[in-house]
Amino acid sequence: MSPGIIVFAHGSRIASANQAVCEVAARLAQAGSFEHVEAAFLELGQPDLEGAVARLASYGVRRIVVLPYFLTPGLHLERDLPRIVADISSKYSGLEILVTPPLDGHPALLEVLLDRARAVINLTTSH
């Protein structure tokens, strides 16, 4: 069975922000032809990471890749996420949970920033 993927975000009191994360997870599933992709939230959104892991495990997934949808490392990624993953791992024998680095440092991030900057510069210089 292919691995499950979890797009793990902080969560927000603003429902549309959490919905945007769910939409990113759905687009990732489609773009990558991944069978099992879930969104999960540290707080202020559902499901939490343990809930998303439980859902994937119920499908028979034995390997899960957690993609932190965070720009930079910080306390949540350095302290909270490893603790949460360790707690979840202790409850599921035979389940492997891997965590990728956050978005910071990925070469495509520079392209995104350039695209955003150029879009505004082009808009303001065309008037």
Per the structure block, which two tokens stand in for 105? 């440092």
Question: Which residues on adjacent β-strands are paired with residue 38?
Answer: 6
Q: Which is more confidently placed, 114 or 123?
A: 114
Q: What is the CATH number of domain 4-125?
A: 3.40.50.1400
Residue-range domain boundaries for the chain? 4-125
Q: Which of 10, 36, 76, 127 is catalytic?
A: 10
- The answer, yes or no, to whether the previous bond of 73 is cis (omega within 30 of 0) is no
pLDDT digits (tens, 9 = 90+) for 79-91: 999 999 999 999 9
Contacts of 28 (CB under 8 A, 6+ apart): 5, 7, 34, 37, 67
Q: What is the pLDDT of residue 126?
A: 65
**Rounded CA gap, 80 and 42, in Å?**
9
10 counts as catalytic: yes
